[in-house]
Amino acid sequence: MKCQDFSSILKAFAEMLDTAGAVAARDRIVMFAPLFDATPTSKVSDLVDRIASLPRPGHTGSPTLRDVGVLLSALKVLLNKTSKTTVLTDISSIETILRDRASIEIGAFVRMVTEAAAAPRRQTGGRGASTIRDDLVVLYKEKLEASLGDEEKFRAVYNDLRANTAIGKPEIVALAKQMTGSGARTVDAALKKVWNRHQSLMVFKAKSRATRGRSAA
């Protein structure tokens, strides 16, 4: 089933919830539906595969994807006797994606996926050209910069970056360039530049605390 068709089903479901007076449930479906409007002609299965390849953000809040999953389970029961098997299969695959990301806030998740779908992909020149995942570069840049100066948070994001098989040399080199202003020829060199920016800030903060301590004395 195409995304635009699934979006139509969700919007009809939202109208039904509204008629039933389930305002909070309606709002959650309305928040979730734009996920399928971003790539209307793509198959739902293709979108699910794309989401599965994206890193899992740390956004938490309310309402969550768990709330949407509960509603989709109810929708599947409602359509069980009247819809094609493909529709029910698509709903099940979406439920699985949401279950694995249950604590993520709906709006944050939808923004991440739609931004990834809209992000341009640049071709690197020369022999063995590869595609740069700009969405991953943007995502990790935001997460790393937000955790700069916090040893525990930065290390967690940094380790996640190193472990993520979806991000390769082109993305890591581009990330280092954006975060430090200087290029790198290898993955290790790029990662070192990223880490050194964090370490430099930690050293600066330590010196500042020491200076304030001497002044107070």
Could you tell me the residue ranges of all domains in the chain? Answer: 1-118, 120-217
Task: Quote the pLDDT of residue 38.
Answer: 81
Number of Cα atoms under 13 Å in the Cβ half of residue 194: 30
For the entire predicted model, the pTM comes to 0.55
Cis omega (within 30 of 0) on the bond before 63?
Answer: yes
More confident residue, 196 or 56: 196
Q: What is the mean pLDDT of the chain?
A: 84
Q: Which string of DSSP letters, residue by residue, matches 77-129?
A: HHHTTTS-HHHHHHHHHHHHHHHHTTTSBHHHHHHHHHHHHH---PBPPSTT-
Q: What is the mean pLDDT of residues 144-165?
A: 87
Q: pLDDT value at position 119?
A: 56
Average pLDDT rounded to a whole number, residues 135-164: 87
Q: What is the pLDDT of residue 181?
A: 81
- Average pLDDT rounded to a whole number, residues 19-27: 93
Q: Which of 99, 97, 124 is nearest to 113 (CA)?
A: 97
Q: What is the mean pLDDT of residues 77-82?
A: 90
What's the CA gap between 13 and 94, in Å, rounded?
16
